[in-house]
Amino acid sequence: MDFALTPAQAAFRNDVRAFIQERLPQDIRKRMRAGHPARKQDVVLFQRILNERGWAAPHWPRKYGGAELGQVERLILVDELFRAPAPMPSIFNVVMLGPLLMKFGTPEQCDHFLPKLANLDLWFCQGFSEPGAGSDLAALRTSARREGDHYVVNGQKIWTSTAHYADWAFCLVRTGQAARKQDGISFLLVDLRLPGIRIRPIVSIDGAHSLNEVFFDEVKVPVEHLVGEEGRGWDCAKFLLGNERTGIANVGLCRERLDFARELARTLTQNGRPLIDDAGLRAELAVLDAEIRALEITNWRLLLAPETSLGGAAFASVLKLKGTEIQQEVVALVARLAGPAALERRASDSAGSEHWAAPLAPRYLQSRAASIYGGASEIQKDILAKAALG
């Protein structure tokens, strides 16, 4: 991304690179480079290392543990983390809940939760989706009725990533019935150790357990864990789903996987020749490289000039849509380069080490979900059509 960097920004990038080089444990980098997702312990460890510099929550005020970085520096940091590759700080804690508490929370909520969010002392997950309420989120039915100084919560959430090892969830619940389904929703912070909560795993097609169903049966949540006004939770949801622009395109991730694809193409051989000798493959790599470059420039345009003819929100949809498509293409290419080896599940040597290609098919399968979570691709296209055509 050198084309737009000022000397100060270039120095910042070098600083970030040196820091990651020095502090990211090699075994974590190696696992992630091979294609594995970061494990919980990796995320916690590295978020705390970043937090020493205020880089776990880089855009937050210093008083809550941030570094008050601007958008460009933040993007540089995110890109470098992806490219290392290193575990990302928890999006739920840092990108979603933290800024939301600063906007809608009480000073007590901010003082209590924000430092813990930055240091990952508390791991939050997101309890929004329900059976029958995904893209149409306002159709949610999990209820919370006020009884004295508590809300009593009943209902079910689904697709709740990391709930099985999270400490808390931030949830949308229905506290009232109104003509408009967006009204009567409230935003609650729920301690997942409370009695009446049951978490059931969902194992996805990649064989991993990151998703869950969460059931609430007469769960008593203290009133002080309501964020914002009762019945105005939709304002929180809109803020939370709409305020993220910086990392939405996942440029660094695409680039890291493309570098890995090149590496594979140079080392793997067919009929005694490296795969990279194939002109068709080189052209494919070049097209992806150009696509990622275009995505990167588009991302910069949004950050540097958010007032576009399309409008900031619609521009973000371009980034989400295109970023997802490229990410899926690159990850599919990596699995294709590995060939049948990508289906390998056995140990590769007598010591029981994993086959080098074992993570690649799961990674490919997992990448398919990117066009569903964070706003499905069809929804992004709806937004773009409305913005473009009125």
Ligand X SMILES: Cc1cc2nc3c(=O)[nH]c(=O)nc-3n(C[C@H](O)[C@H](O)[C@H](O)COP(=O)(O)OP(=O)(O)OC[C@H]3O[C@@H](n4cnc5c(N)ncnc54)[C@H](O)[C@@H]3O)c2cc1C
Binding site for ligand X (CB under 6 A): 125-129, 134-135, 159-161, 211, 369, 372-373, 376, 378-379, 382
Give kind and range of the element (H or E) at residue 39: none
Cα distance between residue 207 and residue 90, in whole Å: 22
Name residue 164's amino acid: H
Residues shown for the chain: 390
Structure tokens at 26: 């090699």
Instruction: In angstroms, give the least distance from the CB of 240 to ligand X.
Output: 11
b/e per residue 84-101 (b: at least 16 CB within 10 A):
bbbbbbbebbbbbbbbbb
Q: Which of 83, 82, 16, 9 is nearest to 49 (CA)?
A: 16
Q: How far is the CB of 307 from ligand X (least distance, A)?
A: 27
- Minimal distance, residue 160 CB to ligand X, in Å: 5
Residue 305: CB partners within 8 Å, gap ≥ 6? none
Residue nearest to ligand X (CB): 134
- Note whether 183 and 234 are within 8 A (CB): yes
Residue type, 210: S
Residue 239 Cβ, how far from ligand X at the closest point, in Å?
Answer: 16
**Residue closer to ligand X (CB basis): 29 or 225:** 225
State in angstroms the smallest separation of the CB of 336 from ligand X.
22
The alpha helices in 64-106, defined as continuous H runs, are: 71-83, 91, 98-104
Using the minimum distance from each CB to ligand X, give the nearer residue, 172 or 342. 172
Terminal-to-terminal C-alpha distance of the chain: 34
- Euclidean distance between CA atoms 329 and 242, whole angstroms: 26
Is the Cβ of residue 200 or residue 266 nearer to ligand X in the bound state?
200
Q: What does the DSSP 8-state code read for residue 184?
A: T
- Residue 16, both tokens: 């970030």
Tokens of 131: 């059976």
